[in-house]
């Protein structure tokens, strides 16, 4: 799952070297934290969150094959 998020994010942003994905196993779900460069944050979220929602949909479809739940958090760095 981590590699899938990394691939999707790198395809969307202008600065693919700044993409970071961390995976944490929570209770019953894997939590993926996505960090991108500040100027690329809008590209990953999209208008009204449509791009982020699409990424989450793809993740949930892939996770359903393994009977797991996945949560994607997009982290904004200060």
Q: What average pLDDT does the chain have? A: 92
The pTM of the full predicted model, rounded to 2 decimals, is 0.88
How would residue 40 be classed by pLDDT, with cut points 50, 70 and 90?
Answer: very high
Close Cβ partners of 53 (under 8 Å, ≥ 6 residues apart): 46
Output the CATH code of domain 2-75: 3.30.300.20
Q: Where do the domains of the chain lie?
A: 2-75
Ranges of beta strands (E only) in 1-77 are 20-25, 29-35, 69-75
How would residue 28 be classed by pLDDT, with cut points 50, 70 and 90?
Answer: confident
């Amino acid at each position: 799952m981590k590699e899938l998020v990394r691939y999707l994010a790198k395809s969307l942003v202008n600065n693919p070297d700044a993409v970071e994905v961390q995976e944490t196993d929570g209770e019953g779900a894997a939590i993926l934290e996505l960090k991108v460069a500040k100027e690329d944050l809008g590209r990953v979220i999209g208008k009204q969150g449509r791009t982020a929602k699409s990424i989450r949909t793809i993740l949930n479809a892939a996770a359903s094959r393994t009977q797991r739940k996945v949560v994607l958090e997009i982290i904004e760095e200060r």
